[in-house]
Amino acid sequence: MSHSDGQKRSWREGCAAWLRPQSLVMLCLGFSAGLPILLIFSTLSVWLREAGIERSAVTFFSWAALGYSFKFLWAPLVDLLPLPLLTRLLGRRRSWLLVSQLGIVSAIVLMATIDPSQAELGLTLMALAAVLLGFSSANQDIVIDAYRIECAEKSLQALLASMYIAGYRGGMLVAGAGSLFLADLLGTRSGAYSYGAWQTTYLAMAACMAVGLATTLIAREPEVNPEVVRHHYTPADYGRFLALFILAATGFALTFFFSAEPTNQLAGQLHRLPLLAGAFGTFLAECLRFAAAVGVAALVIRLLVLAGFVNVAMATQSYVEPIRDFFSRYGGRTALLLLVLIGFYRISDIVLGVVSNVFYLDMGFSKKVIAGVTKTFGLVMTLLGGFLGGVLAIRFGVNSILFLGALLSAATNLLFMLLAGAGADVTLLTLVIAADNLSAGIATTAFVAFLSSLTSVSFTAVQYAIFSSAMTLLPKLIGGYSGTMVSSFGYQNFFLLTTLMGVPVLVLIIVAGRMAAAGNDPPAGSPSTPSG
């Protein structure tokens, strides 16, 4: 919660802000951020199934996007390391942005050159290319988030967030519906697989990344804030720091993947306890598994630092100072409360969203209706909500719209209860989707602006990567058990439960606002205030 939130503007100023150059830049960068993700998930899944790949193998490809959840682990690397020649030519942010986008293009082109139906080697190569795409895309997200925060003052963060979300949704639409339409037009479909059609489709998606590349080359590099102190390190320091990250990431990955069986055994033991029977015990075991992996990574970093393997000042600046800065600016109690708020803010809509498509099918809606109403019309309403959220945040302040978005997101889940009782009513479905997606657009825009306001300009990449990972981690873990909950007590009770999940969020927003107003907010002119 920031003092700048109190700086409210007129409707004319709010609308005029859309014409700023930063707005168009964020729209285009949002497009390049939204394009790759579906090329790993739904679009690639359709390609693999048409190529005759078993469902069990197809689902493993979702691991290729783990970089999105764990990008905070290498965000310090992106924030600190200069790139030879490119950093001097383009600047700190645009150089990493260009490298990330070139990595995305290379990965998509590589996927286009691989026919997954050609023995096991083709599938293995496709998996490696998908991992490269997921890593490069997550890397791009780190840089874009930092760029957005640094390129404009806090009062414009909601506006830039709404433009970014609009571009992101547009990129997803092109990579999702657009790519499937093109592949079908080129003659591939279930039972009539054509590798050439999919190759052309993915090459076309790679060409669409020209939007992001052109924007990176044309856009201005954000000004370096004088508050940001950069140390002068030797090439050997940078090399050892890179090795530190690789070793820590390896420790995290090995612990996470090889602890699957012990986690299942622990969950079985927890299920014997009355309060931990069922999904909750499994959820707790998975949380412990994740914590153990993070602990191993932290231990590797700590031991290597103590052994003198890396420059202590560099390691401290990269991994310790961003966290210390956040807690020192807000105080321990307020900082912890804000982290809890970040982890729970989107829980209501994410948990519901996991089973939404299954719910529509169970209600008797056809795939055509689902695609037309929930996807196409839903996208329009989400974009409208994003634009509306940006203007409202400029007019009334981010904190007010943050509360409004949380209230609407929880309340609209009650409409799904009504739909569950009505059955396959297309008119009611349209009204529910309109309300739900409009509120989601408002909430998401306000939340992204809120996260930006919490981020110090001295540690933009690292702190925002931590926040953005935290905001989806808990909801996604709980969302994994949505199907179990629906099977246990039905759709209507499930939707009521997701609504109740949003109530504590409203309380957290109010309490956090009061604590900030009581003096825990950073003072004006502190390093947390970005330069314009």
**What DSSP assignment string belongs to 407-421?**
HHHHHTHHHHHHHHH
Tokens of 99: 């490298």
The candidate with the shortest Cα–Cα distance to 141, out of 479, 476, 466, is: 466
CB 402 within 8 A of CB 509: yes
Among 247, 281, 310, the domain-final residue is 310
* 387 and 529 in a common domain: yes
Sign of the torsion formed by the C-alpha atoms of 381, 387, 390 and 394: negative
More confidently predicted of 277 and 73: 73
SS3 192: strand
* 70 and 41 in a common domain: yes
CB 279 within 8 A of CB 267: no
* 276 and 137 in a common domain: no
Task: Report how far apart the first and last C-alpha atoms of the chain are (Å, whole number).
Answer: 19
Tell me the mean pLDDT in the region 278-306.
81
Report yes or no on whether pTM surpasses 0.85. no
Give residue 238's pLDDT: 82
In a domain, residue 229? The reply is no
* Beta-bridge partners for 189: 192
Q: Is the pLDDT of residue 510 over 60?
A: yes
**Which of the four pLDDT bands, split at 50, 70 and 90, describes residue 526?**
very low
Sign of the torsion formed by the C-alpha atoms of 196, 201, 202 and 203: positive
* 356 and 288 in a common domain: no
* 269 and 327 in a common domain: no
DSSP codes, 73-140? GTHHHHHHPPPTTHHHHH-HHHHHHHHHHHHHHHHHHHHHT--TTSHHHHHHHHHHHHHHHHHHHHHH
* 469 and 336 in a common domain: yes
Please give the backbone phi and psi of residue 221, each rounded to the nearest 5 degrees, phi first: -70, 135
* 213 and 72 in a common domain: yes
What is the residue whose two structure tokens read 């000042």?
313
Tell me the mean pLDDT in the region 484-512.
87
* Total number of domains constituting the chain: 3
Amino acid identity of residue 151, one-letter, is C
**Which of the four pLDDT bands, split at 50, 70 and 90, describes residue 36?**
very high
Give residue 524's pLDDT: 35
Tokens of 87: 């950093």
In a domain, residue 360? The reply is yes
In a domain, residue 131? The reply is yes
In a domain, residue 413? The reply is yes
CB 388 within 8 A of CB 381: no
- Spatial CB neighbours of 326, under 8 Å, sequence gap ≥ 6: 335, 454, 456, 463
Give residue 3's pLDDT: 40
Please give the backbone phi and psi of residue 192, each rounded to the nearest 5 degrees, phi first: -140, 60
* 481 and 352 in a common domain: yes
Among 222, 248, 263, the domain-final residue is 222
* 409 and 304 in a common domain: no
In a domain, residue 212? The reply is yes
- CATH number for the domain spanning 102: value is 1.20.1250.20
Amino acid identity of residue 282, one-letter, is T
CB 44 within 8 A of CB 201: no
Name which of 141-150, 153-162, 317-326 the model is least confident about: 153-162
- Spatial CB neighbours of 38, under 8 Å, sequence gap ≥ 6: 172, 175, 176, 179
Among 166, 190, 222, the domain-final residue is 222
Name which of 218-222, 248-252, 458-462 the model is least confident about: 458-462
Give residue 249's pLDDT: 81
* 157 and 256 in a common domain: no
| Other residues' Cβ atoms within 10 Å of the Cβ of residue 486 | 20
- Separation of alpha carbons 15 and 17, rounded Å: 5
**pLDDT mean across residues, the chain:** 82
In a domain, residue 328? The reply is yes
341-392: per-residue pLDDT in tens?
998 898 888 888 767 777 887 888 876 777 778 777 888 898 888 888 888 8
In a domain, residue 227? The reply is no
Q: Which domain holds residue 179?
A: 9-222
- Separation of alpha carbons 417 and 494, rounded Å: 9
**Which of the four pLDDT bands, split at 50, 70 and 90, describes residue 109?**
very high
* 295 and 164 in a common domain: no
388-420: per-residue pLDDT in tens?
888 888 778 888 889 999 999 999 999 999 998
* 370 and 491 in a common domain: yes
More confidently predicted of 494 and 472: 494
CA 64 to chain centre: 15
Tell me the mean pLDDT in the region 207-219.
96
More confidently predicted of 11 and 116: 116
DSSP 272: T
In a domain, residue 284? The reply is yes
Give residue 532's pLDDT: 29
Q: Is the pLDDT of residue 7 over 80?
A: no
| Other residues' Cβ atoms within 10 Å of the Cβ of residue 304 | 17
- Separation of alpha carbons 373 and 429, rounded Å: 8
